[in-house]
Amino acid sequence: MTGVYAALPLWVVMTSLVAALAIFALGESRRHARVAVNLAAAVLKVVLVAILLVGVYLGHDFGFRVTLLPGIDFVLHADSLTILLSTLSALLWLVTTIYAIGYLEGSPHRCRFFGFFSLCVAATMGVAAAGNLFTFFLFYELLTLATWPLVVHRGSAEALRAGALYLRYTLGGGAVLLIGIVALHTFTGTTAFRAGGSIPPESASIAVLTIVFLLLFVGMAVKAAVVPLHAWLPQAMVAPAPVSALLHAVAVVKAGAFGIVRLVQDVFGHDLTAHLGMDHVVAVTAGITIVYGSMRALAADDLKQRLAWSTVSQVSYIGLGIGIGGPLALIGGLVHLVHQGLMKITLFFCAGNLAETHGIKKVSQMDGAGRRMPWTMTAFSLGALGMIGLPPLAGFITKWYLGTGGIETGQYWVVGVLIASTLLNAAYFLPILARAWINEAPADATVGEAPAMLLWPAIITALFAGGAGFLAGMPWSPLYWVEFIAELYL
Protein backbone atom coordinates (compact mmCIF):
# COMPACT_ATOMS: atom_id res chain seq x y z
CA MET A 1 0.00 0.00 0.00
CA THR A 2 2.79 2.42 0.87
CA GLY A 3 4.30 1.72 -2.54
CA VAL A 4 1.07 2.65 -4.26
CA TYR A 5 0.85 5.82 -2.17
CA ALA A 6 4.47 6.76 -2.79
CA ALA A 7 3.96 6.38 -6.54
CA LEU A 8 1.17 8.96 -6.48
CA PRO A 9 2.96 11.28 -8.96
CA LEU A 10 2.83 8.41 -11.45
CA TRP A 11 -0.91 7.97 -10.96
CA VAL A 12 -1.45 11.68 -11.44
CA VAL A 13 0.28 11.49 -14.83
CA MET A 14 -1.38 8.22 -15.76
CA THR A 15 -4.90 9.54 -15.10
CA SER A 16 -4.69 11.90 -18.06
CA LEU A 17 -2.70 9.47 -20.16
CA VAL A 18 -5.27 6.71 -19.76
CA ALA A 19 -8.05 9.22 -20.36
CA ALA A 20 -6.35 10.25 -23.62
CA LEU A 21 -6.06 6.65 -24.81
CA ALA A 22 -9.66 5.92 -23.82
CA ILE A 23 -10.89 8.95 -25.72
CA PHE A 24 -8.96 7.93 -28.83
CA ALA A 25 -10.36 4.42 -28.54
CA LEU A 26 -13.95 5.63 -28.13
CA GLY A 27 -13.95 7.33 -31.50
CA GLU A 28 -15.81 10.32 -32.80
CA SER A 29 -19.40 9.21 -32.41
CA ARG A 30 -19.65 8.23 -28.73
CA ARG A 31 -20.13 11.67 -27.35
CA HIS A 32 -21.60 10.87 -23.94
CA ALA A 33 -18.95 8.32 -23.09
CA ARG A 34 -16.27 10.82 -24.09
CA VAL A 35 -17.72 13.54 -21.87
CA ALA A 36 -17.92 11.07 -19.00
CA VAL A 37 -14.30 9.99 -19.41
CA ASN A 38 -13.17 13.60 -19.68
CA LEU A 39 -14.93 14.77 -16.56
CA ALA A 40 -14.18 11.66 -14.52
CA ALA A 41 -10.47 11.95 -15.30
CA ALA A 42 -10.44 15.67 -14.53
CA VAL A 43 -12.19 15.21 -11.19
CA LEU A 44 -10.05 12.21 -10.27
CA LYS A 45 -6.95 14.23 -11.02
CA VAL A 46 -8.05 17.07 -8.75
CA VAL A 47 -8.62 14.54 -5.97
CA LEU A 48 -5.24 12.86 -6.48
CA VAL A 49 -3.42 16.19 -6.60
CA ALA A 50 -5.20 17.25 -3.42
CA ILE A 51 -3.97 14.11 -1.67
CA LEU A 52 -0.50 14.80 -3.03
CA LEU A 53 -0.64 18.36 -1.78
CA VAL A 54 -1.49 17.31 1.75
CA GLY A 55 1.15 14.58 1.62
CA VAL A 56 3.88 16.98 0.55
CA TYR A 57 2.81 19.46 3.21
CA LEU A 58 3.09 16.74 5.83
CA GLY A 59 6.56 15.92 4.56
CA HIS A 60 5.84 12.53 2.97
CA ASP A 61 8.23 11.27 0.32
CA PHE A 62 6.83 10.55 -3.11
CA GLY A 63 8.80 8.93 -5.84
CA PHE A 64 8.79 6.52 -8.74
CA ARG A 65 11.95 5.40 -10.49
CA VAL A 66 12.68 3.16 -13.48
CA THR A 67 16.02 2.76 -15.19
CA LEU A 68 15.53 3.66 -18.82
CA LEU A 69 19.12 3.66 -20.03
CA PRO A 70 22.26 2.47 -18.31
CA GLY A 71 22.98 5.25 -15.80
CA ILE A 72 19.86 7.24 -16.60
CA ASP A 73 16.62 6.93 -14.67
CA PHE A 74 13.08 7.98 -15.36
CA VAL A 75 12.13 9.67 -12.10
CA LEU A 76 8.85 11.14 -10.96
CA HIS A 77 8.68 12.80 -7.58
CA ALA A 78 6.64 15.41 -5.79
CA ASP A 79 8.11 18.39 -4.01
CA SER A 80 6.50 21.69 -3.17
CA LEU A 81 7.31 23.12 -6.61
CA THR A 82 5.63 20.12 -8.25
CA ILE A 83 2.51 20.89 -6.24
CA LEU A 84 2.51 24.51 -7.37
CA LEU A 85 2.24 23.61 -11.05
CA SER A 86 0.19 20.42 -10.71
CA THR A 87 -2.48 21.99 -8.50
CA LEU A 88 -2.82 24.87 -10.92
CA SER A 89 -3.02 22.52 -13.90
CA ALA A 90 -5.44 20.08 -12.28
CA LEU A 91 -7.88 22.79 -11.24
CA LEU A 92 -7.70 24.70 -14.48
CA TRP A 93 -7.90 21.50 -16.52
CA LEU A 94 -11.22 20.64 -14.91
CA VAL A 95 -12.57 24.10 -15.68
CA THR A 96 -11.13 24.15 -19.20
CA THR A 97 -12.56 20.71 -19.95
CA ILE A 98 -16.05 21.96 -19.14
CA TYR A 99 -15.43 25.05 -21.21
CA ALA A 100 -14.08 23.05 -24.15
CA ILE A 101 -17.04 20.66 -24.14
CA GLY A 102 -19.36 23.63 -24.40
CA TYR A 103 -17.18 25.46 -26.88
CA LEU A 104 -16.78 22.59 -29.35
CA GLU A 105 -20.43 21.48 -29.19
CA GLY A 106 -21.29 20.12 -32.62
CA SER A 107 -17.95 20.75 -34.30
CA PRO A 108 -15.99 17.98 -36.09
CA HIS A 109 -12.88 16.09 -34.87
CA ARG A 110 -13.81 16.22 -31.21
CA CYS A 111 -12.30 12.82 -30.55
CA ARG A 112 -8.95 14.00 -31.85
CA PHE A 113 -9.26 17.26 -29.95
CA PHE A 114 -10.05 15.82 -26.55
CA GLY A 115 -7.56 12.99 -26.94
CA PHE A 116 -4.68 15.37 -27.50
CA PHE A 117 -6.13 17.72 -24.91
CA SER A 118 -5.80 15.01 -22.27
CA LEU A 119 -2.37 14.04 -23.53
CA CYS A 120 -1.35 17.65 -23.18
CA VAL A 121 -2.36 17.70 -19.54
CA ALA A 122 -0.61 14.40 -18.91
CA ALA A 123 2.54 15.98 -20.30
CA THR A 124 2.12 19.05 -18.10
CA MET A 125 1.72 16.85 -15.04
CA GLY A 126 4.87 15.00 -16.07
CA VAL A 127 6.74 18.28 -16.40
CA ALA A 128 5.60 19.19 -12.91
CA ALA A 129 6.47 15.84 -11.37
CA ALA A 130 9.74 15.12 -13.22
CA GLY A 131 12.51 14.31 -10.78
CA ASN A 132 15.41 14.99 -13.11
CA LEU A 133 16.12 16.92 -16.26
CA PHE A 134 15.99 13.77 -18.41
CA THR A 135 12.44 12.98 -17.31
CA PHE A 136 11.53 16.63 -17.61
CA PHE A 137 12.69 16.55 -21.23
CA LEU A 138 10.56 13.51 -22.08
CA PHE A 139 7.41 15.30 -21.00
CA TYR A 140 8.53 18.65 -22.33
CA GLU A 141 8.76 17.19 -25.84
CA LEU A 142 5.57 15.19 -25.41
CA LEU A 143 3.89 18.48 -24.64
CA THR A 144 5.05 19.88 -27.97
CA LEU A 145 3.69 16.87 -29.82
CA ALA A 146 0.38 16.89 -27.98
CA THR A 147 -0.28 20.60 -28.46
CA TRP A 148 0.48 20.75 -32.19
CA PRO A 149 -2.75 19.00 -33.27
CA LEU A 150 -4.64 21.40 -30.99
CA VAL A 151 -3.02 24.48 -32.49
CA VAL A 152 -3.79 23.36 -36.06
CA HIS A 153 -7.19 21.97 -35.03
CA ARG A 154 -9.20 24.16 -37.36
CA GLY A 155 -7.21 22.94 -40.38
CA SER A 156 -7.27 26.35 -42.06
CA ALA A 157 -4.25 27.64 -43.93
CA GLU A 158 -3.66 30.19 -41.18
CA ALA A 159 -3.81 27.56 -38.44
CA LEU A 160 -1.41 25.30 -40.35
CA ARG A 161 1.04 28.16 -40.79
CA ALA A 162 0.87 28.97 -37.10
CA GLY A 163 1.37 25.29 -36.31
CA ALA A 164 4.43 25.09 -38.52
CA LEU A 165 5.93 28.15 -36.84
CA TYR A 166 5.11 26.70 -33.44
CA LEU A 167 6.88 23.45 -34.28
CA ARG A 168 9.89 25.20 -35.73
CA TYR A 169 10.41 27.12 -32.51
CA THR A 170 9.55 24.44 -29.99
CA LEU A 171 11.31 21.52 -31.68
CA GLY A 172 14.33 23.73 -32.33
CA GLY A 173 14.35 24.66 -28.67
CA GLY A 174 13.93 20.99 -27.81
CA ALA A 175 17.00 20.02 -29.85
CA VAL A 176 19.10 22.65 -28.08
CA LEU A 177 17.74 21.49 -24.75
CA LEU A 178 18.58 17.85 -25.55
CA ILE A 179 22.19 18.67 -26.37
CA GLY A 180 22.36 20.70 -23.18
CA ILE A 181 21.00 17.85 -21.09
CA VAL A 182 23.31 15.25 -22.61
CA ALA A 183 26.22 17.64 -22.07
CA LEU A 184 25.18 18.21 -18.46
CA HIS A 185 24.99 14.47 -17.91
CA THR A 186 28.28 13.79 -19.67
CA PHE A 187 30.29 16.46 -17.87
CA THR A 188 28.75 16.48 -14.40
CA GLY A 189 27.26 12.99 -14.23
CA THR A 190 23.88 14.14 -12.98
CA THR A 191 20.66 15.71 -14.15
CA ALA A 192 18.82 15.42 -10.84
CA PHE A 193 16.67 18.12 -9.29
CA ARG A 194 17.69 19.02 -5.74
CA ALA A 195 16.83 22.16 -3.83
CA GLY A 196 19.92 24.35 -3.93
CA GLY A 197 21.42 22.61 -6.98
CA SER A 198 22.64 19.11 -7.79
CA ILE A 199 25.86 19.78 -9.69
CA PRO A 200 28.82 18.53 -7.67
CA PRO A 201 31.35 21.30 -7.03
CA GLU A 202 34.40 21.36 -9.30
CA SER A 203 32.85 18.84 -11.65
CA ALA A 204 33.44 20.92 -14.76
CA SER A 205 35.11 24.15 -15.78
CA ILE A 206 33.34 27.50 -15.61
CA ALA A 207 33.32 27.75 -19.41
CA VAL A 208 31.68 24.34 -19.85
CA LEU A 209 29.09 25.05 -17.18
CA THR A 210 28.30 28.41 -18.74
CA ILE A 211 27.77 26.87 -22.16
CA VAL A 212 25.61 24.12 -20.70
CA PHE A 213 23.56 26.65 -18.76
CA LEU A 214 23.01 28.75 -21.86
CA LEU A 215 21.95 25.71 -23.92
CA LEU A 216 19.46 24.67 -21.27
CA PHE A 217 18.22 28.22 -20.79
CA VAL A 218 17.64 28.74 -24.51
CA GLY A 219 15.79 25.41 -24.69
CA MET A 220 13.44 26.48 -21.89
CA ALA A 221 13.16 30.08 -23.04
CA VAL A 222 11.56 29.09 -26.34
CA LYS A 223 8.51 27.68 -24.61
CA ALA A 224 8.48 30.48 -22.03
CA ALA A 225 8.32 32.86 -25.04
CA VAL A 226 11.30 34.92 -23.91
CA VAL A 227 12.29 37.59 -26.46
CA PRO A 228 13.70 36.97 -29.08
CA LEU A 229 12.32 33.41 -29.07
CA HIS A 230 8.69 34.43 -28.64
CA ALA A 231 7.39 34.79 -32.21
CA TRP A 232 5.39 31.55 -32.15
CA LEU A 233 3.12 32.56 -29.29
CA PRO A 234 1.19 35.48 -30.82
CA GLN A 235 0.70 33.38 -33.98
CA ALA A 236 -0.57 30.35 -32.08
CA MET A 237 -3.63 32.30 -30.94
CA VAL A 238 -5.46 31.08 -34.08
CA ALA A 239 -6.16 27.92 -32.05
CA PRO A 240 -9.64 27.46 -30.52
CA ALA A 241 -10.15 29.51 -27.34
CA PRO A 242 -9.83 26.67 -24.83
CA VAL A 243 -6.51 25.71 -26.42
CA SER A 244 -5.23 29.26 -26.18
CA ALA A 245 -6.36 29.33 -22.57
CA LEU A 246 -4.47 26.12 -21.91
CA LEU A 247 -1.34 27.11 -23.83
CA HIS A 248 -1.10 30.50 -22.17
CA ALA A 249 -2.13 29.67 -18.66
CA VAL A 250 -1.03 26.21 -17.66
CA ALA A 251 0.68 24.15 -20.28
CA VAL A 252 3.26 25.31 -22.77
CA VAL A 253 4.52 28.66 -21.55
CA LYS A 254 4.30 27.43 -17.97
CA ALA A 255 6.38 24.37 -18.81
CA GLY A 256 9.08 26.71 -20.11
CA ALA A 257 8.89 29.01 -17.11
CA PHE A 258 8.80 26.07 -14.73
CA GLY A 259 11.85 24.66 -16.48
CA ILE A 260 13.72 27.90 -15.89
CA VAL A 261 12.82 27.69 -12.22
CA ARG A 262 14.07 24.12 -12.01
CA LEU A 263 17.21 24.96 -13.97
CA VAL A 264 18.22 27.85 -11.73
CA GLN A 265 17.00 26.59 -8.38
CA ASP A 266 17.31 22.80 -8.58
CA VAL A 267 20.00 21.96 -11.14
CA PHE A 268 22.58 24.73 -10.90
CA GLY A 269 21.32 26.25 -7.66
CA HIS A 270 21.11 29.99 -7.33
CA ASP A 271 24.64 30.30 -5.92
CA LEU A 272 26.31 28.56 -8.86
CA THR A 273 24.09 30.45 -11.31
CA ALA A 274 25.17 33.73 -9.72
CA HIS A 275 28.78 32.56 -9.70
CA LEU A 276 28.55 32.02 -13.47
CA GLY A 277 26.91 35.42 -13.85
CA MET A 278 23.93 33.76 -15.44
CA ASP A 279 21.40 35.22 -12.99
CA HIS A 280 21.80 38.56 -14.72
CA VAL A 281 21.26 36.94 -18.10
CA VAL A 282 17.99 35.47 -16.87
CA ALA A 283 16.82 38.66 -15.17
CA VAL A 284 17.77 41.03 -17.99
CA THR A 285 16.22 38.92 -20.79
CA ALA A 286 13.09 38.69 -18.64
CA GLY A 287 13.08 42.46 -18.12
CA ILE A 288 13.44 43.13 -21.83
CA THR A 289 10.67 40.63 -22.59
CA ILE A 290 8.32 42.26 -20.08
CA VAL A 291 8.65 45.69 -21.64
CA TYR A 292 8.76 44.52 -25.26
CA GLY A 293 5.73 42.24 -24.94
CA SER A 294 3.67 45.03 -23.37
CA MET A 295 4.60 47.44 -26.11
CA ARG A 296 3.54 45.00 -28.81
CA ALA A 297 0.29 44.33 -26.95
CA LEU A 298 -0.47 48.03 -27.16
CA ALA A 299 -0.44 47.89 -30.95
CA ALA A 300 -2.57 44.75 -31.41
CA ASP A 301 -6.22 45.27 -32.34
CA ASP A 302 -7.15 41.59 -32.39
CA LEU A 303 -8.25 40.80 -28.85
CA LYS A 304 -6.65 37.37 -28.63
CA GLN A 305 -3.46 38.72 -30.14
CA ARG A 306 -3.33 41.46 -27.53
CA LEU A 307 -3.80 38.87 -24.83
CA ALA A 308 -1.05 36.75 -26.39
CA TRP A 309 1.44 39.63 -26.33
CA SER A 310 0.38 40.24 -22.77
CA THR A 311 1.32 36.62 -22.00
CA VAL A 312 4.75 37.10 -23.55
CA SER A 313 5.22 39.96 -21.14
CA GLN A 314 3.63 38.50 -18.01
CA VAL A 315 5.27 35.07 -18.07
CA SER A 316 8.66 36.69 -17.84
CA TYR A 317 7.78 38.01 -14.38
CA ILE A 318 8.56 34.48 -13.28
CA GLY A 319 11.99 34.59 -14.90
CA LEU A 320 12.57 38.05 -13.48
CA GLY A 321 11.91 36.87 -9.94
CA ILE A 322 14.17 33.84 -10.39
CA GLY A 323 16.93 35.92 -11.94
CA ILE A 324 16.92 38.62 -9.26
CA GLY A 325 17.29 36.06 -6.52
CA GLY A 326 16.72 36.74 -2.85
CA PRO A 327 13.69 35.52 -0.91
CA LEU A 328 11.20 38.25 -1.81
CA ALA A 329 11.84 38.19 -5.55
CA LEU A 330 11.75 34.38 -5.55
CA ILE A 331 8.32 34.49 -3.90
CA GLY A 332 7.14 37.13 -6.36
CA GLY A 333 8.30 35.09 -9.36
CA LEU A 334 6.91 31.76 -8.19
CA VAL A 335 3.56 33.11 -7.10
CA HIS A 336 3.11 34.68 -10.51
CA LEU A 337 3.23 31.19 -12.00
CA VAL A 338 -0.19 30.72 -10.40
CA HIS A 339 -1.46 34.29 -10.58
CA GLN A 340 -0.75 34.72 -14.28
CA GLY A 341 -2.38 31.35 -14.99
CA LEU A 342 -5.60 32.23 -13.20
CA MET A 343 -5.89 35.70 -14.69
CA LYS A 344 -4.91 34.79 -18.22
CA ILE A 345 -7.21 31.81 -18.46
CA THR A 346 -10.09 34.06 -17.37
CA LEU A 347 -9.25 36.57 -20.07
CA PHE A 348 -9.06 33.91 -22.78
CA PHE A 349 -12.34 32.32 -21.70
CA CYS A 350 -13.97 35.72 -21.94
CA ALA A 351 -12.40 36.43 -25.32
CA GLY A 352 -13.77 33.08 -26.50
CA ASN A 353 -17.23 33.96 -25.19
CA LEU A 354 -17.20 37.33 -26.95
CA ALA A 355 -16.19 35.72 -30.23
CA GLU A 356 -18.58 32.78 -29.99
CA THR A 357 -21.65 34.68 -28.83
CA HIS A 358 -21.43 37.99 -30.64
CA GLY A 359 -18.55 37.56 -33.07
CA ILE A 360 -16.48 40.19 -31.26
CA LYS A 361 -12.86 39.48 -32.13
CA LYS A 362 -11.27 42.91 -32.19
CA VAL A 363 -10.78 45.52 -29.53
CA SER A 364 -12.38 48.06 -31.85
CA GLN A 365 -15.60 46.02 -31.87
CA MET A 366 -15.95 46.05 -28.10
CA ASP A 367 -18.04 49.18 -27.70
CA GLY A 368 -20.77 48.49 -25.17
CA ALA A 369 -19.70 44.89 -24.61
CA GLY A 370 -20.27 45.35 -20.89
CA ARG A 371 -23.97 45.82 -21.42
CA ARG A 372 -24.17 43.07 -23.99
CA MET A 373 -22.47 40.46 -21.81
CA PRO A 374 -22.35 41.83 -18.26
CA TRP A 375 -21.09 38.69 -16.51
CA THR A 376 -18.45 37.84 -19.05
CA MET A 377 -17.16 41.39 -19.02
CA THR A 378 -17.15 41.51 -15.22
CA ALA A 379 -14.94 38.45 -15.20
CA PHE A 380 -12.80 40.00 -17.93
CA SER A 381 -12.45 43.22 -15.98
CA LEU A 382 -11.39 41.38 -12.85
CA GLY A 383 -8.69 39.57 -14.84
CA ALA A 384 -7.53 42.71 -16.60
CA LEU A 385 -7.34 44.81 -13.45
CA GLY A 386 -5.44 42.00 -11.80
CA MET A 387 -2.95 42.00 -14.66
CA ILE A 388 -2.45 45.73 -14.31
CA GLY A 389 -1.73 45.16 -10.65
CA LEU A 390 -4.52 47.06 -8.95
CA PRO A 391 -4.23 46.46 -5.21
CA PRO A 392 -5.19 44.09 -3.70
CA LEU A 393 -5.57 41.90 -6.79
CA ALA A 394 -3.21 39.08 -7.64
CA GLY A 395 -0.97 41.04 -10.00
CA PHE A 396 -0.29 43.58 -7.30
CA ILE A 397 0.97 40.90 -4.92
CA THR A 398 3.42 39.73 -7.58
CA LYS A 399 4.67 43.17 -8.42
CA TRP A 400 5.02 44.14 -4.77
CA TYR A 401 7.21 41.15 -4.02
CA LEU A 402 9.27 41.57 -7.18
CA GLY A 403 9.80 45.26 -6.56
CA THR A 404 10.78 44.89 -2.92
CA GLY A 405 12.93 41.93 -3.92
CA GLY A 406 14.75 44.09 -6.44
CA ILE A 407 15.35 46.81 -3.87
CA GLU A 408 16.43 44.25 -1.29
CA THR A 409 19.18 42.97 -3.61
CA GLY A 410 20.11 46.46 -4.79
CA GLN A 411 18.85 45.99 -8.34
CA TYR A 412 16.86 49.19 -8.63
CA TRP A 413 16.34 48.84 -12.38
CA VAL A 414 13.75 46.18 -11.59
CA VAL A 415 11.48 48.82 -10.13
CA GLY A 416 11.78 50.78 -13.35
CA VAL A 417 10.78 47.72 -15.37
CA LEU A 418 7.79 47.11 -13.11
CA ILE A 419 6.59 50.71 -13.35
CA ALA A 420 6.97 50.74 -17.12
CA SER A 421 5.18 47.41 -17.37
CA THR A 422 2.34 48.53 -15.12
CA LEU A 423 1.83 51.69 -17.14
CA LEU A 424 1.84 49.70 -20.36
CA ASN A 425 -0.52 47.09 -18.89
CA ALA A 426 -2.90 49.86 -18.00
CA ALA A 427 -2.51 51.41 -21.43
CA TYR A 428 -3.53 48.26 -23.25
CA PHE A 429 -6.21 46.98 -20.85
CA LEU A 430 -7.98 50.16 -19.71
CA PRO A 431 -9.11 51.22 -23.20
CA ILE A 432 -10.76 47.81 -23.54
CA LEU A 433 -12.60 48.28 -20.27
CA ALA A 434 -13.52 51.86 -21.21
CA ARG A 435 -14.99 50.72 -24.51
CA ALA A 436 -16.85 47.87 -22.87
CA TRP A 437 -18.37 49.77 -19.97
CA ILE A 438 -18.57 53.42 -21.07
CA ASN A 439 -19.07 53.48 -24.83
CA GLU A 440 -22.50 52.84 -26.30
CA ALA A 441 -23.06 49.61 -28.18
CA PRO A 442 -23.71 49.90 -31.92
CA ALA A 443 -27.40 50.19 -32.75
CA ASP A 444 -27.69 46.75 -34.35
CA ALA A 445 -25.83 44.94 -31.54
CA THR A 446 -27.24 41.75 -30.10
CA VAL A 447 -27.46 41.38 -26.35
CA GLY A 448 -27.08 38.14 -24.45
CA GLU A 449 -24.79 36.10 -22.25
CA ALA A 450 -22.77 33.10 -23.37
CA PRO A 451 -24.20 29.60 -22.69
CA ALA A 452 -23.72 28.37 -19.13
CA MET A 453 -20.90 25.97 -20.01
CA LEU A 454 -18.89 28.87 -21.37
CA LEU A 455 -19.88 31.45 -18.81
CA TRP A 456 -19.36 29.56 -15.58
CA PRO A 457 -15.77 28.53 -16.21
CA ALA A 458 -14.90 32.18 -16.82
CA ILE A 459 -16.65 33.29 -13.62
CA ILE A 460 -15.04 30.53 -11.57
CA THR A 461 -11.53 31.32 -12.75
CA ALA A 462 -12.20 35.03 -12.23
CA LEU A 463 -13.18 34.26 -8.64
CA PHE A 464 -10.02 32.19 -8.21
CA ALA A 465 -7.96 35.04 -9.60
CA GLY A 466 -9.70 37.54 -7.33
CA GLY A 467 -9.37 35.24 -4.35
CA ALA A 468 -5.65 34.72 -4.94
CA GLY A 469 -5.24 38.46 -4.43
CA PHE A 470 -7.86 39.32 -1.79
CA LEU A 471 -7.14 36.27 0.32
CA ALA A 472 -3.38 36.14 -0.26
CA GLY A 473 -2.71 36.29 3.47
CA MET A 474 -4.91 33.26 4.26
CA PRO A 475 -3.58 29.73 4.71
CA TRP A 476 -3.52 27.67 1.48
CA SER A 477 -3.51 30.69 -0.79
CA PRO A 478 -0.96 30.52 -3.62
CA LEU A 479 1.17 33.02 -1.72
CA TYR A 480 1.05 30.87 1.40
CA TRP A 481 2.25 27.85 -0.55
CA VAL A 482 4.99 29.80 -2.30
CA GLU A 483 6.30 31.00 1.04
CA PHE A 484 6.36 27.35 2.08
CA ILE A 485 8.43 26.60 -1.04
CA ALA A 486 10.74 29.52 -0.50
CA GLU A 487 11.74 28.16 2.92
CA LEU A 488 13.32 25.22 1.08
CA TYR A 489 15.66 27.39 -0.90
CA LEU A 490 16.78 29.77 1.81
Judged by the rule CB under 8 A, the positions of this chain that interact with other proteins are 67-72, 109, 112, 137-138, 141-142, 144-145, 148-149, 152-156, 160, 163-164, 167, 171-172, 174-176, 178-179, 182-183, 185-187, 189
CA dihedral 337, 343, 345, 347 (to 10 degrees): -150
Nearer to other proteins, 156 or 364 (CB): 156
Minimum separation from the CB atom of position 75 to other proteins (A): 14
Cα separation, 2 vs 490, in Å, equals 31
Nearer to other proteins, 183 or 281 (CB): 183
Minimum separation from the CB atom of position 52 to other proteins (A): 23
Minimum separation from the CB atom of position 138 to other proteins (A): 4
Question: What single letter denotes the amino acid at residue 106?
Answer: G
Minimum separation from the CB atom of position 472 to other proteins (A): 38
Q: Of 155, 417, 128, 212, which Cα lies nearest the Cα of 294?
A: 417
Nearer to other proteins, 117 or 396 (CB): 117
Cα separation, 271 vs 197, in Å, equals 8
Q: Of 152, 63, 151, 150, which Cα lies nearest the Cα of 114?
A: 150
Nearer to other proteins, 171 or 281 (CB): 171
Minimum separation from the CB atom of position 72 to other proteins (A): 7
Nearer to other proteins, 94 or 146 (CB): 146
Nearer to other proteins, 190 or 409 (CB): 190
Nearer to other proteins, 204 or 224 (CB): 204
Nearer to other proteins, 1 or 157 (CB): 157
Minimum separation from the CB atom of position 175 to other proteins (A): 4
Minimum separation from the CB atom of position 10 to other proteins (A): 14
Q: Of 21, 31, 192, 51, which Cα lies nearest the Cα of 106?
A: 31
Minimum separation from the CB atom of position 357 to other proteins (A): 24
Nearer to other proteins, 137 or 309 (CB): 137
Minimum separation from the CB atom of position 162 to other proteins (A): 11
